[in-house]
Structure 1
Amino acid sequence: MLPYFVAILIIAAIYVLLALGLNLQFGLTGLINFGHVGFFCIGAYTAALLGQAGVPWPLTFLVGAALAAIAAWPLGLVSLKLKDDYFAIVSLGFSEIVRIIVTSEQWLTKGVQGLTGIPKLMGFLGTGLSQALAVLGILVAVNVLAGLAKLRIVRSPFGRMLEAIRDNEEGVKALGKDPAGFKIQVLMLGAALAGIAGGFYAHYIGYIVPEQFIPLVTFYVWMAIIIGGVGSISGAVAGTLILMVFLEGSRFLRDIVPFVSEVDMASIRLGAIGLALVLFILYRPQGLMGDYSTR
């Protein structure tokens, strides 16, 4: 039971990294990014390919983060010419383009067969509980660093400018400031975090296929930050943990209701998450960790 619990915490920690990246983009700047999984995919495949080539894992993470950030740059340029709702659609299309590319370029990514034999993170410890705990420790450390970096950004002039863009972009322009560069920078920062998360995912799972990077992953992250509290570091953590409880905890319901099939249970699971999301939006729109003095 303990190895299973540790495995769930590792996946949750990876999702927290994704949530922190999306919180930078939407929570601070108001960018509605429905293509976050595309950067996750870029980071995962970059880390996997470099890992198979014998590159040390810290470097695979850095290169994956850099490529994800570079991929976000043209998407950021597109965002300058589109309103929020149109940018959301374009970003969703971007993530699907990334998935189609990794599916089609079989010479590099093995297509739908996927990449196998990806070196395990902390593999010298074997494949038991000690290795999983080491991976979890590294992930917690990276999340803490990412959280501290986000906190520093929020309290800096750069962060205050991002919040001003989110609240009143036209007002920022009237003051002679250009929001364009700030939007591109924050999109690249969030993408880099997603790329690092992808590197952890690839090295932990050891096997990746394009179907692991569908838009549903992005919407899971959106659910986490909405439930936990948009723009909040603690909200990203709390929302992700609640999401994991719904996703994984529902698996044990079959012990109580054995007459429900696995297929039906998957539908019930998604329905429960959707219901929780609706209830939070109706009765707690600022999220679980949001300001309790406001509604």
Structure 2
Amino acid sequence: MLSYLIFTLTLGGIYALLALSLNLIWGGVGMVNLGLAGFFAVGAYASALVALAGVPLPIAMLLACLIGAAAGLLATFATIRLRGDYLAIVTLGFAEVVRMVALNERWLTRGSDGVSGIPAPFRAELGVDGFNLLYLALVSVIVLGVFLTLRRLDLSPFGRVLKAIREDQELATFAGKSVTRFKMQTFALSAAIAGLAGALYGHFQTYISPDHFQPLITIYIFLAVTAGGVGRPVGALAGAYLVVFFLEATRFLGELFTVLEPGQVAAIREVLVGLALLCVLHLRPQGILPERIAPAPKPETSV
């Protein structure tokens, strides 16, 4: 039971990084990114492949962030003039392109067979239980560091410019802000965080394949950010852990309802995810921890 709890908390930390990544781009600058699973996959494959080539793990994870950021910049060039539904469709297409490349370019990604034997830090020396505890601590420290960085960024002048772009892009442009530059920087940073999450996932599982990066992951992260509160990093953090625990709890439906086939249990789990999203949108449309926007200062009145 303890091993399962450690696994759930570790997975929750990886999902928390994805939620923070989405919250930065969606809650910060207002760009709907449905391609999160693509950047997640880019980071996982990049770190896994260079680590198998003999690159030390810290450098491999750093490269995953850099390659993720580069992919984010590439996606930004294709979507910079798009908004709303059009942006969502293009980013979703980007994620599918990444998955199809991973599935078909066997010379690089080994196709549907996946990449196995991915190095895991100190797994041989510590054993399975010791490695799981170490990795939980590593993921938790990284999540805390990213959270504190994004929280500070959210309260900085840079964060206020992002919110201005989110609320009224034309007004921000009129105020002299380079909207394109801010969008590119934000998308690159968001993609780098998603790439880091992918690297952590790959080295934790020691095996990845295209099936691990289905678009459903993006739906889970959207549920996490929506449930936690769009635009607030602590809300994204809380929502991610809630969603992971919710998903893991539904795994036991087969034990509660023994008449159900495994395929039926899997289908019911997906239905419950959709119902949970609808309930959150109906009962708490602003999320559990909604964004707090400070009121504008009142003008001073002369006597």
CA distance in 2, matches of 1:26, 1:168: 14
Residue 74 of structure 1 deviates from its aligned partner by: 2.0
Q: CA RMSD in A?
A: 1.5
2:54 corresponds to which residue?
Answer: 54
Contact 1:227 1:288 in 2 (8 A): yes
1:15 corresponds to which residue?
Answer: 15
1:101 corresponds to which residue?
Answer: 101
2:162 corresponds to which residue?
Answer: 162
Please list every run of 5 or more consecutive structure 1 residues that lacks an aligned counterpart in the other structure: none
Residue 291 of structure 1 deviates from its aligned partner by: 5.5
Q: Which of 1 and 2 has greater Rg?
A: 2
Amino acid corresponding to residue 237 of structure 2 in structure 1: V
CA distance in 2, matches of 1:291, 1:18: 19
1:195 corresponds to which residue?
Answer: 195
Count how many residue pairs are aligned between Structure 1 and Structure 2: 293
Contact 2:230 2:291 in 1 (8 A): no
Contact 1:246 1:272 in 2 (8 A): no
CA distance in 1, matches of 2:237, 2:156: 22
Residue 47 of structure 1 deviates from its aligned partner by: 0.8
Cα distance per residue 1:180-239 (max 9 Å; x no partner): 000010000000000100101110101111111111111111111001111222212221
Amino acid corresponding to residue 159 of structure 1 in structure 2: G
Residue 292 of structure 1 deviates from its aligned partner by: 9.1
Does 1:174 pair with 2:174?
yes
1:289 corresponds to which residue?
Answer: 289
Cα distance per residue 1:231-281 (max 9 Å; x no partner): 222212221122122211112233322112221111211111211111111
CA distance in 2, matches of 1:232, 1:292: 8
Cα distance per residue 1:34-81 (max 9 Å; x no partner): 001111111100111111112111111100110010011121122222
Residue 11 of structure 1 deviates from its aligned partner by: 0.9
Cα distance per residue 1:112-138 (max 9 Å; x no partner): 111111111332434321110100001
2:300 corresponds to which residue?
Answer: none
Amino acid corresponding to residue 169 of structure 2 in structure 1: E
1:227 corresponds to which residue?
Answer: 227
2:125 corresponds to which residue?
Answer: 125
Q: Could you tell me the TM-score, scaled by structure 2's length?
A: 0.93
Alpha carbons of structure 1 residues 121 and 93: separation in structure 2 relative to 1, 3 Å? same
CA distance in 2, matches of 1:135, 1:125: 13
1:144 corresponds to which residue?
Answer: 144
Q: Could you tell me the TM-score, scaled by structure 1's length?
A: 0.96
Contact 2:15 2:241 in 1 (8 A): no
Question: Alignment partner of 2:146: what SS?
Answer: helix
Amino acid corresponding to residue 115 of structure 1 in structure 2: V
Contact 1:6 1:133 in 2 (8 A): yes
Contact 2:232 2:291 in 1 (8 A): no
Question: Alignment partner of 2:207: what SS?
Answer: coil
Contact 1:44 1:64 in 2 (8 A): yes
Contact 2:69 2:189 in 1 (8 A): yes
CA distance in 1, matches of 2:244, 2:177: 41
CA distance in 1, matches of 2:88, 2:127: 40
Amino acid corresponding to residue 289 of structure 1 in structure 2: L
2:237 corresponds to which residue?
Answer: 237
1:266 corresponds to which residue?
Answer: 266
CA distance in 2, matches of 1:121, 1:10: 15
Amino acid corresponding to residue 3 of structure 1 in structure 2: S
Contact 1:246 1:269 in 2 (8 A): no
Alpha carbons of structure 1 residues 27 and 122: separation in structure 2 relative to 1, 3 Å? farther
Does 1:39 pair with 2:39?
yes
CA distance in 1, matches of 2:8, 2:136: 10
CA distance in 2, matches of 1:251, 1:175: 51
